[in-house]
Amino acid sequence: MFRKVLIANRGEIAVRVMRTLREMGIATVAVYSDADRTSLHVRMADEAAHVGPSPSSESYLRIDRILDAARKHGAEAIHPGYGFLSENADFAAACEDAGIVFIGPSAHSIRMMGSKTAARQTAVAAGAPVVPGTDTGVTLEEARRFGNANGYPILLKAVAGGGGKGMRRVDRASELESALRNAASEADRACRNSEIYVEKLIERPRHIEIQLMGDRYGNMVHLGERECSIQRRHQKVIEECPSPLVAQHPEMRHAMGEAAIRAARAAGYYNAGTVEFLVDQDRRFYFLEMNTRLQVEHPVTELVTGLDLVRMQVEIAAGARLPLSQDEITWRGSAIECRVYAEDPFNDFLPFPGKITRLTRPLGPGIRLDGCVYDGWTVPMEYDPLLAKLAVWAGRREDTVARLIRALREYDVAGIRTNIGFFRQILEEPEFQAANLHTQFIEEFLERRQAPRPPSDLTAVAALAAALHTRRGPALEAEPAVPSNAWRESGRSGLLR
């Protein structure tokens, strides 16, 4: 087993990996940028290495600096977490060349499955169903031909993309040219690859993924599915295990699991990976892509299976065989996770960095909080604003929903805006509680739920009270103006009432 592991990441995933390594008696090395000098993952690690300025392109994405830190601190292995270099085949290959174990799949598998078009080709060869689409990047004329042949709407997607980057819905031919240009530009900025391919858009699908784990000896199992249909801007925000749909039709788990394993085996895959599917309204599933890393939402699988996926990753990387067979895997109860972001849900989910002035964490039975923040810490603007993942478990889905609502009511992060209150509204929705889920759920929810407006008679009273409150004499310094919005005005009106 390894004596020391470097975590090539930051935030909550770095903290989560460190906790398992500490339980295994393995020393940890953190890396950090200028912006993360006081971050929790740096405080928790046994050792820490500065890898550059705040921009990730000059720190967390610098392969040379990450490897230099590993050599300097004597790390025998590197865990990449997710994001940054986790699906970078060149990084995996560089680790191997440096004699450092990469805790993940081979560079060959990452290249095969990391490209969305190459992954489609591999899935087709393995007999997995795929959404009608192109197998390579397209020009404008090729995209037009596809749209005319298959009908609109269609979906433009980045060949090297992920997390919704470089993705555009196109409802009519007249929108195609500008959508393709914008998608290619975004893909080039996010992935340094502007290639775009096209798929037929499945209307209101469910997004269901299969968690895989394989060793270097050819053994592979699936750990069941996760429902990831609640998304904003193609980014998952609520995930659960098991999927309510699959729980009603358990034959789907077997069929999807077998299809996922076939696709992964075709790529010579080992370690943790996830195969994602779209499911239409007739319960037909289609291969979407493979994520060649640990997923953000892995805690719900851990809560339901009782397994530690990070421990399994580390043991497999150290040469161990899978500790269990497919028949030994069981699923118990229900788990749901919310991704807590520093963002304003009712202002197009814009990030909201700033100093956390008060932090109250939820506690109690069945609650798990994977976080990276503390009271007084400043959320940096340079990175993804994910603060924590709140996951809860209970015996039945309805009990899990009730427990999660209770936990969200206890959860308080002051000084910045978060999506905690937004999650409470989503979970209280009858459609969510009835498990009528699909990837356009949030868009339709926001259309139904406009920001509250105060009654007209109270608007004037609120404005007068605000004006009187903010008056200052010549000797007093005026406070910085706080931008007004409908939610704040509604709150003021409620207080005045």
Kindly list the catalytic residues.
293
Inter-residue contact 357 to 301 (CB < 8 Å)? no
Beta strand pairing call for 4-7 and 77-79 = parallel
Give the helix ranges, DSSP H, for 24-79: 40-44, 63-73
Alpha carbon of residue 475 to chain centroid:
50
Neighbour-count burial for 466-497, b at 16+ CB within 10 Å, e otherwise: eeeeeeeeeeeeeeeeeeeeebebbebbeeee
Inter-residue contact 92 to 69 (CB < 8 Å)? no
Say whether the peptide bond before residue 250 is cis (omega within 30 degrees of 0).
Answer: no
Please enumerate in sequence order all residues whose Cβ is within 8 A of that of 77, keeping only pairs 6 or more positions apart, or say none. 2, 5, 6, 100, 101, 102, 103, 314, 317, 318
Give the helix ranges, DSSP H, for 366-418: 397-410
Task: Kindly provide the residue ranges of all beta strands, DSSP E only, lying in 140-261, ordered along the sequence.
Answer: 154-158, 168-170, 196-200, 206-214, 220-232, 235-241
Inter-residue contact 2 to 77 (CB < 8 Å)? yes
Instruction: Please state, in angstroms and rounded to a whole number, the distance separating the CA atoms of residues 251 and 316.
Output: 29
Q: How many DSSP H helices and E strands does the chain contain? A: 18, 22
Instruction: Please state, in angstroms and rounded to a whole number, the distance separating the CA atoms of residues 81 and 61.
Output: 13
